[in-house]
Chain A
Amino acid sequence: MNDNKTSLVATSIVILAVAAAVGGSAMRDRLEAGPRVAFRSPVGAGGIVAHNDGKRDDTDIAPQPDVSTYFYQLSEILDKNYVEPITDGQSLAVGAVRGMVMSLRDPYSVFYKPDQMRAMTDLQKGTYSGIGVEVRYDFGSDDDSLAASDNPDFHYPSVIVSSVAAGGPADKAGMKAGARIVRVNGKWVPSYHEIDEVREIRKSLDDGRTSSEQFEKSVARFREMFENSASPNRVSDEIATGTSGTVNVSWIGSDDKEESATIERRQTTERAVTVYDDTLRLKFYEGADAALAREVKGKTEIVIDLRGSTMGDYDAMRACLDLLAPAGKIGEIRRTRAGLPREVSLSQGISTPIKLNLIVDKTTRGAAQVFAQALVGSGVAKVVQGSLAESAPWIETTLLPDGSGYTLRTGTFVASGGGKQ
């Protein structure tokens, strides 16, 4: 070959090689972005980045970008600029999910880290970790309190024990469902209660009903609590997860008295159905329906105690309803936003229902609440002790690939027939 031809061939090979390299890179990007990201233009040239020398132009109204593209381009910005290498794109996505769930500021829509999620799914099988309690956060419903404010900086829910595993360490220490946790391993758990208390004392100081020493004392105590505090998340970790070691806990019971104990952490398994004095204590764990079926066989009337029965497994709860209520519509899930309510109905049901007497209180929540309302609504049950709310939040759970997950309140369950007692 002559020289011209050689250099032509060489040049074209180089060009083709460069094209192949660029093609490889683009293919990789496409793979990483996924099918939803439109063939993206590089960041800074038609992407999401502004390029007007940093001056903000208030008259510029940017069209809302496609959400997937937005996420992808931001993760590219981090990948290209962040001082340490970004090795785990998935944890960025999980972080984004956490941000979204927490922004709802809804006590029933909560994000759980992997070990918290594991503890929750174990709980649905009746296995408790930690000291043998299930906890929930109470954000308070009083409009004047901080909890209802729009401030994302300050959110001080109180940590409430929603159920206690029978025979578990917390049960043995005398803790009961409804207790409020106030100290864990020497750290305070301040909540909107304490903040409201300071405001109350200050108001009464203005009115002359309290002495200034009292006020000063309460402020000093308040400061100390906040400076040495554990977040609600930390409290959950300490008392509801883990199966080794001990934890020092102080709590306030229903009698408003503060109690303390050093309690061990271990696994405690609770049965879905336990019988005491002709009463069935029912919790909606996997397999609850099988246990329930055995107990109700041959009976015409039973008492079911639903106190301390909380989140639980909604599927197990529906299977239990199938044993006790007639087939057909039992209620609907309503939302405040536009759209028709979703019907909830039983496909199997029972033709000759047993007479049911229910014992409930404010620790009857979640699946148990729906259960009780559905039964009362269909006329087969009445509440003989305690009072039942008129509706119950309907909650769905999502598990994420890294083991974390979240609950989402998707509506309010209202039983047919009103659900009133």
Chain B
Amino acid sequence: MKRLGRVMTGAIVLLIAFCLGFTWKDLRTGHAPSTDAFSRLVNGRIDQGNTPTDLFRDNYDQILAKYAENVDQVELRHSAMQGMFSSLGDPPTMFLPPQDAENFDIETKGNYAGIGARLGPDPLGVRVESVFKNGPADRAGLKPGDIVTRINGKEIGGKSTDEVVNHVRGKEGTILTMQVIRMGEPQPVTLNVERARVTVPTAEGLMIGDTGIGLIKVDQFSEITIKQFDEALEDLVKNQPRGIIIDLRGNPGGLLDTATAMLERFLEGKIVVSMKSKSGGVDTTSTGTGRSVGYLGPIVVLIDRYSASASEIFAGVLRDYKRATLVGEHSYGKASVQGVILLKDMSTAKVTVARYFLPGGENISRKEDEDGTYISGGLTPDFAVEIEKDKPFERGNPMRDAPLAKAIEVIDKKIGI
């Protein structure tokens, strides 16, 4: 009897262990054990083909076998994986087939022979999002907002941005002819740009005319930005400005550490972001003490739809601590960290592994529909100002930069002018 008791206890222990193993998948994410899976096990339906993998495979096979034209198997598989990742509705989580993955790699390295401009998609060609100061494109007269429709005589409307960028980059010293549509210019403009080594400039400051207001333009948050920003800020503060405008338009982000170091000049000992990862752990980043620049006047941050990631953190933190007003249009909505997993066939899986939350708790993650159209996300500016479409736009010139003009007005109002 005693022996039977021991055997039974042993059997029960094993059964419980088995069940724990079986339901570990559910338990570790905090769900109740899956009864569906249990019933499938008990009914012996182990080999029945109704799993997600089967659903995918059945339709993959069907398309391959039945479609009217020849289908490239590898491309079909890659399209399937892209669809799978985009079904999550999180734009930075994406599957990159080999050729796309390569382009992404070059982009993040940043240093190449090109024209010194950031390009984005447009139905007629590509749109110039920003022009690096003193770069080849700047010297040739290219301006943000320009739409490039022809390169070296060829129409580029219909080509992907990646494809165009491949045409734009090239040997140092060679010339690129671009035909450009510019608002306010009745005729298309032709520009000749000589390619050169391009390093992305990051921060520079100036006093705006005789307004007594300082302006710092920050293009990226890279390592050298901290020093450049510090220098620009200190120079401005010496002039005792009535206000400071920080222009983050077109700034796609960069290092969180850089944003934090820049924030330290205005906010000491404050939480910058909380980062929540899958395991549920929360990591916070805070500003240190001792680096305050001692400026107490009004600050306005300019943002647009291209301001992303570290830009949004910098602007959002200043706003949440009521240290700055945001002017412009909603920002991009990227406040997450991606992990990159390389696959043997040279594809890449980019997966969002953590999300940043601003001090106020706001989750600014971008949401897109399945067509890739923006639904929501990003920081909402305190004052929404659009760039005037029927006038030529000149960044940094209050007469031709409506958001900048508004920023100046906001500062004037704050100090009672």
Question: Does chain A have a CB within 8 A of B88?
Answer: yes
Docked-complex contact A36 and B57, CB < 8 angstroms: yes
Docked-complex contact B80 and A30, CB < 8 angstroms: no
A 12-40 contacts with B by CB, 8 A: 13, 16-18, 20-28, 30-37
Question: Does chain A have a CB within 8 A of B141?
Answer: no
Question: Does chain B have a CB within 8 A of A385?
Answer: no
**What string of 1s and 0s marks CB contacts (under 8 Å) between A69-113 and chain B?**
011101101100111111101111111111111111010010000
Q: Which of A50, A71, A101 contacts B84 (CB 8 A)?
A: A71
Docked-complex contact A335 and B25, CB < 8 angstroms: no
- Interface hit among A292-300, A306-314, A407-415: A407-415
Question: Does chain B have a CB within 8 A of A254?
Answer: no
Q: Which of A24, A49, A153 contacts B18 (CB 8 A)?
A: A24
Shortest CB distance B30–A (Å): 8
Docked-complex contact A70 and B77, CB < 8 angstroms: yes
> Within the assembled complex, what's the spacing in Å between the Cα atoms of A336 and B69?
6
A 337-369 contacts with B by CB, 8 A: 337
Question: Does chain A have a CB within 8 A of B210?
Answer: no
CB within 8 Å for A81 and B345 given contacts A36-B54, A202-B188: no
Residues of B near A95 (CB, < 8 A) are 83-88
Q: How many chain-A residues does the 8 Å CB contact rule pick out?
A: 104
> Within the assembled complex, what's the spacing in Å between the Cα atoms of A154 and B162?
13
Residue of A nearest to B45 (CB): A31
> Within the assembled complex, what's the spacing in Å between the Cα atoms of A19 and B56?
32
8 more A-B contacts (CB under 8 A) besides A99-B80, A103-B79? A30-B46, A34-B54, A56-B342, A78-B88, A87-B31, A92-B84, A95-B86, A216-B186
Interface residues on B, range: 35 or more
> Within the assembled complex, what's the spacing in Å between the Cα atoms of A261 and B321?
49
**What string of 1s and 0s marks CB contacts (under 8 Å) between B25-50 and chain A?**
10001110000010011000011111
B 364-386 contacts with A by CB, 8 A: 369-371, 373
Chain A contact residues: over half helix, strand or loop, or mixed?
Answer: helix
Residue of A nearest to B93 (CB): A82
- Interface hit among A128-136, A159-167, A223-231, A243-251: A223-231
Docked-complex contact B53 and A231, CB < 8 angstroms: no
- 7 residue pairs bridging A and B, Cβ less than 8 Å apart: A25-B22, A34-B50, A82-B353, A90-B55, A97-B55, A100-B83, A219-B183
> Within the assembled complex, what's the spacing in Å between the Cα atoms of A103 and B86?
14
Question: Does chain B have a CB within 8 A of A185?
Answer: no
Residue of A nearest to B184 (CB): A216
Residue of B nearest to A85 (CB): B29
A 213-249 contacts with B by CB, 8 A: 213, 215-216, 219-220, 222-224, 226, 231, 233-234
A 363-409 contacts with B by CB, 8 A: 393-394, 396, 398, 400-401, 408-409
Question: Does chain A have a CB within 8 A of B14?
Answer: yes
> Within the assembled complex, what's the spacing in Å between the Cα atoms of A20 and B57?
31
CB within 8 Å for A49 and B51 given contacts A74-B95, A199-B157, A410-B67: no
> Within the assembled complex, what's the spacing in Å between the Cα atoms of A293 and B37?
51
Docked-complex contact B60 and A100, CB < 8 angstroms: yes
Docked-complex contact B84 and A49, CB < 8 angstroms: no
